[in-house]
Chains A and B, each alone.
Chain A
Amino acid sequence: MPKQIILAAHFPGVNNTTVWSDPRAGSQIAFDSFEYLARTAERGKFDFFFLAEGLRLREQRGLIHDLDVVGRPDTITVLAALAAVTTHLGLAGTLNATYHEPYELARQLATLDHLSGGRAAWNVVTSPGAFFGENFRRGGFLDHADRYVRAGEFIETARTLWDTDGGEFAVTNSQFDIRGRFGVPRSPQGHPVILQAGDSDGGRELAARHADAIFSRHHQLDDARRFYRDVKDRLAGYGRAEDSLKIIPGVSYVLGDSDADAQEKAHHIRRQQVSPQTAILLLEQLWNTDLSGYDPEGPLPEIDPVLDESDTIIKGRAGMYPDRLATANEWRARAEAKNLSIRDLIIEVTGRQNFIGTASRVAEQLDEYVQTGACDGFILVPHLTPAGLDDFVDQVVPLLQERGVFRTAYSGTTLRGNLGLA
């Protein structure tokens, strides 16, 4: 039997991947939208639904960012509500290890696992910056170097609490000193599924040691295989089997009646994702300075990027450009060679969709990734709320089922069971 593909549905996020200007785009906050996408994913026999977390609204140039979707719900509250309208679908959410506490979070996740009948999953991230900290009692207290220490100790502590079956615990480590009665009896999964997001070396090591799955970035086939191999090879060091850690990149896709039709649709979506205003804003993220005076339909700036990383123009988002000047020179050369405006260039160099083609081509490519050791499945990131996965579920899922690489009915009774995790 060929390897089975894991599929997850990412609720559209607060970045320019999500197109709000399309007439079909629905509310990012009404429960109907969450329910619709979750029901669609369950109709498609997906493994889980995924929801990211907000801790502070993004800012650029010291102002609240207003060009993308803004505003989202509290993660675990929505997941608990979705447990009422779904039966088999896993319910995964990002919950930040910096701005939550182990007792409270372990209790919430165990509660969700009970109330959903064994479908809870936690995506662990950390944020060292002071920016988010301004919304929290403890402020931005975490050194960058300590973020994986905190994440690791947080996970270990949560697992200790889950193993008490509601009884007494005492944990003392570098981040926590807590004790008492946990109060939640063992939940259906025992331990909710743990995902780790982040492709850095520290993130890979954390995942190899503690996680059930990695929510990774998408890579081209060869790079993806190297990443996959690197992470899986780390498992033996922790006494873990190779299939005990799933690698699931977040990916976007565009379907068309023909490959050419799909390419055309993809370009149209890219233009929706990169409005003239967004083009300037994305350019500023590299240049690290105010470029509002530039014409998005004109040439790239001749001035060089600002290299001071201590005060970046964008707040609330991870840095993306290790060498600003080199990237800027590369972009300028490319724009000049192909006579591209700022907006054209940004459309080319940022966030092109990962899989573009007919349903049959996309099914074939996804399957190739999984069968040739590039990943174990995909977290699909639709560009429209809430109906962005309809075409995938209607067209691609049946083809994957025909290929024998995706379930036609749920077999496990928990998310762990469906994922093939112990």
Chain B
Amino acid sequence: MTLHLAIALDGDSFAAADWTTPVRQADEARLDFVTFQDSFGGRRPDAVQVAARVAPLTRHVGLVPVATTTHTEPFHLSTALATLDHVSRGRAGWQVRVSADPAEAALLGRRAPLEFDDLFAEAGDVIEVVRRLWDSWEDDAIIKDVATGRFIDRDKLHYIDFAGAHFSVKGPSIVPRPPQGQPVVAALAHDERVWSRLDVDVYFVTPDDAGQAATIVRRLPGKKVFADLAVSGRTTAETADLIAAWSATGLAGFRLHPGGDHGVRAITGELVPELRRRGLFTPSPRRRLRERLGLPPAVNRYQEVARA
């Protein structure tokens, strides 16, 4: 089977070229996606904007920024990611992050840090709201019917009426449904307590060996599980050997951490050709990230209700 390949970018540069160069390399190598690290209080640019900044300059690669559920308004999160999907023509994703850090909370000044259970329960609520808002416009809501003077069929727009323990959101979204319907949602899954709480498509894990990787995959049925893998400190052949050894575990693929300025070039210029030679990686011809990853088409939950 062919594996999916991603690159984790965690640079701290504010110069656009330091982002466009590696992302274009990943795009040209036909990698499936790149992730953009982010956190509040860290010295690096806003990841959603970095992803948007590189979107018009790339054509294939998925763009998956980290964004934090704990402080950012769920409505803004949903519309920003939907917009990233529009500007990238269906290549947007989102790596969910939560914040338990009091120093981050003090930057916003709106609330005290939450304990683990509340933090993840709330993150689950935020993902639910973000997803509902993405579905709050049906794909064919824009009708432009001159005879009746109507631009939209308002019956195809839906209030989401979410009310949870920490916030409520009325909807619908201001942004028409994104090209993918539902952009790809990802999260770290190092702590297995999060597994049942978050409705995500892609999990990032760090197994110690192939056996552990296979166990995790078995316990996360229906999810695309990616192993995080540091490339630095290994030769291309060693990395390729490791990927080959883990390729039969059921992992969907690997997220490679380049480490250092030349890491991306080493991945795209050396490792990717080697994996292609070994038949472990075949670039997908698909342009939309869901399709690249083999995720099913995103059925609109409100359209389903309307049909029922």
Contact = CB atoms under 8 A, between A and B. Distances in A.
Contacts of A117: 16
B83 A85 contact: no
A107 B110 CA distance: 17
A307 interface: no
A64 B80 CA distance: 22
A54 B168 CA distance: 18
A66 interface: yes
A170 to B, nearest CB: 9
B108 A20 contact: no
Contact of A21 (B50, B106, B146, B171): B146
B56 A31 contact: yes
Interface in A11-67: 20-21, 29-31, 34-35, 54-57, 63-64, 66-67
Nearest to B172: A57
Contacts of A136: 73, 75, 167, 169
Contact of A107 (B46, B50, B80): B46
Contacts of B87: 31, 34, 73, 77-78, 81
A20 B20 CA distance: 35
Interface in A105-156: 107-108, 111-112, 114-117, 134-138
B54 interface: yes
Nearest to A32: B89
A74 B49 contact: no
B97 interface: no
Contacts of B171: 135
Interface stretch (B37-45, B207-215, B241-249, B260-268): B37-45
B154 to A, nearest CB: 5
Nearest to A56: B174
Contact of A29 (B54, B86, B151, B172): B86
A72 B175 contact: yes
Nearest to A177: B109
A220 B120 CA distance: 57
A112 B51 CA distance: 12
Contacts of A35: 56
B278 interface: no
A74 B176 CA distance: 11
B152 A80 contact: no
B71 A76 contact: no
Given A57-B174, A77-B80, A80-B53, A111 B75 contact: no
Contacts of B140: none
Given A35-B56, A70-B151, A77-B52, A179 B107 contact: yes
B79 interface: yes
Contacts of B86: 29-31, 73
Given A21-B146, A180-B103, A78 B52 contact: yes
Contacts of B74: 137
A84 B142 contact: no
A115 B45 contact: yes
A114 B15 contact: yes
Contacts of A104: 40, 71-72, 108
Contact of A114 (B45, B71, B79, B82): B45
Give the contact-size bracket for chain A.
35 or more
A85 B151 contact: no
B14 interface: yes
A177 B146 CA distance: 51
B242 to A, nearest CB: 35
Q: Tell me which of B15, B46, B152, B168 has the highest count of chain A C-beta atoms within 10 A of its own C-beta.
A: B46
B49 A73 contact: no
Given A66-B151, A67-B149, A185-B14, A111 B46 contact: yes
Contact of A64 (B45, B54, B152): B152
Interface string B63-76: 00000000111111
Interface string B149-190: 111111001000000001111111011100000000000000
Interface stretch (A228-236, A273-281, A324-332, A401-409): A273-281
Contact of B16 (A31, A34, A74, A114): A114
B137 interface: yes
Interface in A277-320: 277-278
A21 B175 contact: no
A115 B106 contact: no
A119 to B, nearest CB: 11
A137 B56 contact: no
Nearest to A161: B107
A134 B168 contact: yes
B55 interface: yes
B249 to A, nearest CB: 37
Contacts of A71: 137, 142, 152, 174-176
Given A57-B157, A64-B157, A178 B14 contact: no
Contact of A135 (B20, B71, B75): B75
A80 B52 contact: yes
A83 interface: yes
B109 A176 contact: yes
Contacts of B146: 21
A101 B106 CA distance: 12
Interface in B99-156: 103-104, 106-110, 137, 142, 144, 146, 148-154
Given A101-B108, A135-B75, A278-B149, 6 more contacts: A34-B87, A81-B52, A101-B110, A111-B45, A114-B14, A138-B110
11 contacts: A29-B176, A31-B89, A71-B142, A72-B175, A74-B76, A78-B87, A107-B46, A115-B50, A137-B167, A180-B106, A183-B41
Interface of A: 20-21, 29-31, 34-35, 54-57, 63-64, 66-74, 76-78, 80-81, 83-85, 99-101, 103-104, 107-108, 111-112, 114-117, 134-138, 166, 176-181, 183-185, 187, 275-278
The 4 A-B residue pairs with the shortest CB-CB distance in the complex, in nearest-first order: A277-B149, A54-B174, A178-B109, A80-B52
Interface of B: 14-16, 20, 40-46, 48-50, 52-57, 71-76, 79-80, 82-84, 86-87, 89, 103-104, 106-110, 137, 142, 144, 146, 148-154, 157, 166-172, 174-176
